[in-house]
Structure 1
Amino acid sequence: MQTIIVLASLVSAALCIPAGPPAYGHEENYDTPAAYAYQYGVADDYSGAKFEQNEKRDGYSTSGSYRVALPDGRIQIVNYHTADAYSGNIADVTYEGTPTYGPGPARAVHAAGPAHLG
């Protein structure tokens, strides 16, 4: 009886073993040209962070823009595009607003000390 139980458990264990490597789904093909579009934005009043970006790509043709709030109060806007694999990336950078700066560093004034005559 024990022999039958041992043989039955070995047969059931053998039937549960997969025949070959596990399958993880279909294999990705990375030879096709990239095609996507996205956009996002952040506006955090607590930290003052404010920026946004968008981009669209179809093969090598890519275009997009982003905006960033600079510490001096201006907004930097970058529009960029790439036409193909050979022309490179072309960016157009502009600014909105007028820069403002806080007070400059305080100028140290030293009192004149006694003159030493030698």
Structure 2
Amino acid sequence: EGPQITAALEAARIAGRADVMVMDLSYGEQRQLEIALSLVTAPRLLLLDEPAAGLSPSERSMVAEIIRSLDKDITVVLIEHDMDLALGLVDRVTCMFEGRVLVEEAPDDIRRNKQVQEVYLGRPRHA
């Protein structure tokens, strides 16, 4: 176990489970391990595809905390359908619709963007 492995396990908040077989880790811990595995190579770019999918609220919070605490030199590209989680983690948001960029803005601007609301929440129906 080298220093990079130890650091990656610590960053993913799973160092205390280093001696446990992967099949004996909970699903949430396995997701944390996936992040740790990606950190071992000291990436400059980290691509995360729905890292909190299928997790309980407490596990989702843990994953969010891990992502938030990553070294700021790592660019994180996050694909996430949980908008509250995603908007709380990022500096810039690219919303896509039908394979094209719909809008690219800061998280607070995305929350207020009428076009994004229409596409993701649907148009209000008139009585």
Kindly indicate which of the two structures has a greater share of residues assigned to helix.
2
TM-score (normalised: structure 1): 0.22
Higher RCO, 1 or 2 (CA under 8 Å, sep at least 6)?
2
Kindly indicate which of the two structures has a greater share of residues assigned to strand.
1
